[in-house]
Amino acid sequence: MFFVRGCGKVTEILVVFTGGTIGSRQNGAVVDVDSGTGYALLERYRESAGALAEEIRFETAQPMTLLSENMTPAHWLALVRCLRGWLEAEPERFAGAIVTHGSDTLPYTAAMLGYALADVRLPVVLTAANRPLEDPRSNGLRNFAAAVDFIVDAALPGVYAVFENDRGEMPVMLGTRMAEARPFDDQFAPPYGAPLGHMLDGRFVPHEHAVNPPVAALRAVRKPGLPPERLGFTTDIVYIRPYPGLDYGLYDFERLPRRPAAVLHGLYHSATACSAAAGAYESSLPAFAARCAALGIDVWLAPVKAADSARYRSAHEIAEAGVRGLARIVPEAALVKLMAAYGTYPGRDPESVREREAFLARNVFFEHHEGGDW
């Protein structure tokens, strides 16, 4: 489905408000969500968009209003139900959907929607703001306008995010390739610093890079990433990041009445973690993984390098110990993928394990990048 500017045809876009800074107001020193701010955003857009505003019609939904740091898997399921309910009821009605969201957990929700809506045949674009809309320094209106432009101009099916950077550029990122915004400057940095493209003067300009999928691949028909009727996201995942002196003895899973289904273990930037034992504390990842295996707890690493890449000795030792990895994926997308895998396909029976591992092995919506040095 393509839409042409200036043709007089009205383009309808679904806008789903969830809260976040883009849906907040500041009262003194406190910033908090306000259920009416989303609608004020639409008014600001209509006032600023000129003639284009006459060609755009918005349908709105507000399944939740919260700061994104309070987002939970239950909210994710409500968001998926909302989007599928609107988009599947009248498949030809909308050109796309925009989800306004807080920036703190934007990468997690974007990855979640990338998996849950991989088969949707129109663009779903998440966006946020660095400051409340009433603050003159806010990029919220520009981000929203860029999301509208992306839907109208690119019309690429799938899940994406737009967020203006500190250079005044408007990168477009795949929903499954977002790391958390950096502290101090609030910037989102995609792998290799290579966004999918940029919005420039209302047009989508793809960024040619070895890790980016071609536009033709984005337009290709995709099967559902997860069965909608069984979709679930477990909270039984523990995420551990390495640091010097990490003592696995503190993770005393043997004594817990409720044990995790799996552990996601991060790695240093060179895809390494400690493989050596130390006398004063338990620091060996292979030993920790063996202890978890004895308890029926799976341990996954992310991001690991491709099997044919040169790796440090410690990485080889960890792999030789049987610790499995999710290759070429940002940790945020890896964590959500595990939450989806163990939530949708729970249990240790052979069929659940087969379905779970088949999902984890699939490249659902380009979360595992090709090309590059990894």
Task: Render pLDDT for 112-133 as a digit per residue (tens, 0 to 9).
Answer: 999 999 999 999 999 999 999 9
Q: What is the pLDDT, as a whole number, of residue 19? A: 94
Q: What is the pLDDT, as a whole number, of residue 216? A: 97
pLDDT tens for 315-365 read 989 998 889 999 999 999 999 999 999 999 999 999 999 999 999 999 999
* CATH class assigned to 237-361: alpha beta
Euclidean distance between CA atoms 328 and 366, whole angstroms: 10
Q: Is the pLDDT of residue 274 over 60?
A: yes
What does each C-alpha distance from 29 to 25, 26, 32, 201 come to in angstroms?
11, 7, 10, 36
Euclidean distance between CA atoms 89 and 82, whole angstroms: 11
Give the mean pLDDT of the chain.
93
What does each C-alpha distance from 206 to 53, 98, 156, 189, 200 come to in angstroms?
25, 20, 11, 17, 10
Q: What is the pLDDT, as a whole number, of residue 281? A: 65
Burial readout 138-153 (b: 16 or more C-beta within 10 A, e: otherwise): bbbbbbbbbbbbbbbb
Euclidean distance between CA atoms 366 and 363, whole angstroms: 6
**All CATH 3.40.50.40 domain ranges in the chain, comma separated:** 237-361
Q: Is the pLDDT of residue 309 over 90?
A: no
Q: Is the pLDDT of residue 209 over 90?
A: yes
The DSSP bridge pattern shows strands 171-174 and 158-162 to be: antiparallel
Residue 145 tokens, joined:
């306008």
Q: What is the pLDDT, as a whole number, of residue 3? A: 46
Residue 87 tokens, joined:
């988009």
The active-site residue out of 21, 100, 272, 344 is 21
Q: What is the pLDDT, as a whole number, of residue 4? A: 46
**All CATH 3.40.50.1170 domain ranges in the chain, comma separated:** 11-219
CATH of domain 11-219: 3.40.50.1170
Q: Is the pLDDT of residue 374 over 80?
A: no
Q: What is the pLDDT, as a whole number, of residue 31? A: 80
Q: Is the pLDDT of residue 1 over 60?
A: no
Backbone angles phi, psi at 324, to 5 degrees: -90, 155
State the pLDDT confidence band at 7, using cuts at 50, 70 and 90.
low
State the pLDDT confidence band at 8, using cuts at 50, 70 and 90.
low
Whole-model pTM above 0.75? yes
Collapse the DSSP code of 160 into the 3-class scheme (helix H, G, I; strand E, B; otherwise coil) and give the result. strand
The reply to whether 21 belongs to the active site is yes
The average pLDDT across 131-148 equals: 96
List the single range of 96-105, 123-132, 182-191 with lowest mean pLDDT: 182-191
Q: What is the pLDDT, as a whole number, of residue 60? A: 97
State the pLDDT confidence band at 290, using cuts at 50, 70 and 90.
very high
Angle 353-359-363 from CA coordinates, rounded to 5°: 155
Collapse the DSSP code of 274 into the 3-class scheme (helix H, G, I; strand E, B; otherwise coil) and give the result. coil
pLDDT tens for 40-92 read 999 999 999 988 889 999 999 999 999 999 999 999 999 999 999 999 999 99
